[in-house]
């Protein structure tokens, strides 16, 4: 168990990933160069590469591969936890969309395979079929981050409140939701769903998102990475383009909200 921290400084990172992994990682290092002191660096879903099904499968690697080594170096350099929003995990014969949490020493503290896969025809005519790319995970994953109990999720999971209720019942006070949310759905649903998950579970929600456009599919991502507080307030947002923002989460604020309306203790089901 990590020592308990009453304050947690979180850096939200928004990227526009293309098909070239090394170019993407180079830009990421530049983005992080000026962030200063932080406790957590939170990256979006598929932050290292966006492309075709073949691109994803060709870049898949196990959790002890070169990408995790790169992230471990980031953790060491910044003395911070790193949420690798998601990487393409090779666990033959399956490929998973996997979120990985590394501690300050660069060690893998937790990994979560995306449970809910987005298969949908958007009203723009664009079609997304994640089940053609990934195998689905099956297990919720929680982690202890210096006394903050964290629930892990990815993107489309946001639409399934039972996953977050599971984390809430297990004592979560922080929810991670790295995403590559489409612009078409995001403009209507992103903020309202993030705020709903925060309000109903009285948790902080950390939601780094991709921006820009997938160079293979042409599907635009929403951006608007957010940190939402337990009262449902938007505490930080990166609207358009690549960037970072850092804020401090306060456990006392969390406790104040939960005491103000003790809904979690009033649950019947």
Is the pLDDT at 1 greater than 60? The verdict is no
Q: Which residue has the tokens 């939960």?
A: 258
pLDDT at 120: 83
Calculate mean pLDDT across residues 236-252. Answer: 97
125 pLDDT band (50/70/90 cuts)? low
Q: Give the separation between CA 154 and CA 95, rounded to whole angstroms.
A: 15
Which among 45, 89, 203, 242 is annotated as catalytic? 45
pLDDT at 166: 98
Known active-site residue 114: yes
Closest-CA residue to 70 (of 108, 100, 39, 25): 25
Known active-site residue 191: no
Known active-site residue 203: no
**Domains in the chain with CATH codes:** 7-261 (3.60.110.10)
Please write down the long-range contacts of 53-56, taking CB distance under 8 Å and 24 or more positions apart.
53/132, 53/133, 55/19, 55/216, 56/88, 56/95, 56/133, 56/134
pLDDT at 269: 87
Q: State residue 86 phi and psi, 5-degree precision.
A: -160, 150
Q: Give the separation between CA 204 and CA 261, rounded to whole angstroms.
A: 16
Which among 114, 150, 203, 211 is annotated as catalytic? 114
- Full DSSP string of 179-191: B--BHHHHHHHHH
Which among 61, 89, 126, 155 is annotated as catalytic? 155
Average of per-residue pLDDT values in the chain = 95
pLDDT tens track for 33-54: 989 999 999 999 999 999 999 9
């Amino acid at each position: 168990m990590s020592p308990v921290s009453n304050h947690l400084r979180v850096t939200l990172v928004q990227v526009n990933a293309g098909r070239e992994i090394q170019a993407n990682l180079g830009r990421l290092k530049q983005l992080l160069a000026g962030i200063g002191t932080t406790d957590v660096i939170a990256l979006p879903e598929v932050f290292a590469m966006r492309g075709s099904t073949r691109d994803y499968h060709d870049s898949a690697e196990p959790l002890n591969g070169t990408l995790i080594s790169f992230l471990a170096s980031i953790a060491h350099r910044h003395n911070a936890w790193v949420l690798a929003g998601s990487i393409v995990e090779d666990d033959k014969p399956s490929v998973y969309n996997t979120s990985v949490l590394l501690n300050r020493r660069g060690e893998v503290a937790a990994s979560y395979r995306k449970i809910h896969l987005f298969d949908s025809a958007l009203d723009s005519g664009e079609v997304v079929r994640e089940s053609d790319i990934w195998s689905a995970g099956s297990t919720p994953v929680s982690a202890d981050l210096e006394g903050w109990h964290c629930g892990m999720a990815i993107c489309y999971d946001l639409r399934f409140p039972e996953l977050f209720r599971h984390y809430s019942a297990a004592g979560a006070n922080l929810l991670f939701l790295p995403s590559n949310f489409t612009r078409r759905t995001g403009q209507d649903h992103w903020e309202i769903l993030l705020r709903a998950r925060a309000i109903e579970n009285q948790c902080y929600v950390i939601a780094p998102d991709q921006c820009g456009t997938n160079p293979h599919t042409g599907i635009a991502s929403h951006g608007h990475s957010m940190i939402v507080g337990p009262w449902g307030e938007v505490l930080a947002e990166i609207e358009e383009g690549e960037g970072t923002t850092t804020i401090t989460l306060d456990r006392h604020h969390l406790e104040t909200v939960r005491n103000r309306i003790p809904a979690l203790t009033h649950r019947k089901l």
